[in-house]
Structure 1
Amino acid sequence: MTQIDATSWSRSVRTLFGEGMFAAVGARRRDDWRLDALDVMQLRTDDPRGWSKAAAAPGGRDDGTGPGSPFAAVTRGDFTTTFPVSRRGAEQILVTLQGDWFQTEDIPDFDAREAELTSHARTILERFGEDALIFTNAATARENPDADMFRREGAYECFTSHVLDCGVIALSATEVGIFWSFTVA
Structure 2
Amino acid sequence: MPSRSVDAATWEAALLRLLEDVFTFARSGPRLHEDWAEDVLAVLERSVADPRGWSALDPETFKEGREAGFRSHPFRAMTAEDLRAGLRPITAGAAVELLSSLAQEWFFEGSPIRSREDREAVLADARTLLGRFGPDAVFWTSSDLARGSDAPDFLARDLEGGHPFTGYMMDLGLIAVSADEVGVFWSFNAN
- TM-score above 0.5, yes or no: yes
Shift of 1:20: 2.8
The alignment status of 1:117 with 2:122, answered yes or no, reads yes
Alignment partner, residue 70 of structure 1:
74
Shift of 1:109: 9.4
Shift of 1:75: 3.1
CA pair 136-93 structure 1, distance change in 2 beyond 3 A: same
Matches within 5 A, 1:7-26: 7-18=9-20, 20-26=23-29
Q: What is the rounded CA distance, in whole Å, between the counterparts of 1:79 and 1:10 in structure 2? A: 28
Q: Which runs of 5+ in 1 are unaligned?
A: none
Contact 2:31 2:179 in 1 (8 A): yes
Alignment partner, residue 131 of structure 2:
126
Alignment partner, residue 104 of structure 2:
99
Aligned residues: 184
Shift of 1:158: 2.0
Match of 1:172 among 178, 181, 185: 178
Shift of 1:56: 1.2
Shift of 1:105: 5.5
Q: What residue identity is the alignment partner of 2:119?
A: E
The alignment status of 1:183 with 2:189, answered yes or no, reads yes
Shift of 1:117: 0.6
Comparing 154-163 and 79-88, the one that deviates more: 154-163
| Larger RCO of the pair (alpha carbons < 8 Å, separation 6+) | 2
Q: Taking every aligned residue pair, what percent have the same amino acid on both sides?
A: 32
The alignment status of 1:5 with 2:11, answered yes or no, reads no
Contact 1:129 1:172 in 2 (8 A): yes
Contact 1:95 1:118 in 2 (8 A): yes
Matches within 5 A, 1:24-173: 24-56=27-59, 58=61, 60-61=62-63, 66-67=69-70, 69-76=73-80, 77-101=82-106, 107=112, 110-152=115-157, 154-173=160-179
**Alpha carbon RMSD of aligned pairs, Å?**
2.5
Q: Which runs of 5+ in 2 are unaligned?
A: none
Shift of 1:44: 0.8
Comparing 170-179 and 142-151, the one that deviates more: 142-151
TM-score of the pair, normalised by structure 2: 0.86
Shift of 1:35: 1.0
TM-score of the pair, normalised by structure 1: 0.88
